[in-house]
Structure 1
């Protein structure tokens, strides 16, 4: 996974006026992926346009997603590039699932709080 794809994704989201774009390095938390990008769109139409632009700009640079999920309702669209997963969401959906908080909890935080499994 290169930083090139992250830059392409961020530019694609900014190009369609994505809101509150956040990049998270989750490489120490999971072996499934290294980075997550989360962004919001103001409507279902914009969420779909944001995800479409991410896919199109990625393809232009030679990156093809493994899969794209959620385009039918466009409340939460996931674009999976393997080591990078992009989540484009409506603000209410993003607030409800709070992926930034979920993926910021470190194993040491769980031990310190007594919630270790």
Structure 2
């Protein structure tokens, strides 16, 4: 996992994101090298996770573009080869990113794991 991905996972974990998942897409697609998925437990929590993600990317000097800034289910942060998906619980089930990209190497982090 890249140092950029590690920094994002740590920042999301520090803000108590749920079910943080890193998907190494590699040869699977040209969209990105890595997807990071995280689940928020409320709208306020989703905004907090979005802001901490943007702050971390700024500190890493990575440009970012946000999609779905007003969506209640899914916020997407595109940082080039690194794409961060922040979901509500319902949005994560609905969009099923893990099912769509099921061939990708996947790592799931819980509260006891360190990056």
Higher Cα radius of gyration: 1
1:44 aligns with 2:43: yes
Aligned length: 104
Please give the residue correspondences for 1:56-95 in structure 2 after superposition, counting only pairs within 5 Å.
Answer: 56-65=55-64, 67-95=65-93
Shift of residue 73, structure 1, vs aligned partner: 2.9
Q: Normalising by structure 1, report the TM-score.
A: 0.82
2:109 equivalent in structure 1: none
Shift of residue 105, structure 1, vs aligned partner: 3.9
Higher relative contact order (CA 8 A, sep 6+): 2
2:15 equivalent in structure 1: 16
* 4+ runs deviating over 3 angstroms: none
Note the aligned Cα RMSD (angstroms).
1.5
Shift of residue 50, structure 1, vs aligned partner: 0.2
Larger relative strand fraction: 2
Cα deviation per residue 1:1-25 (whole Å; 9 max; x = unaligned)?
x811101110111121100000001
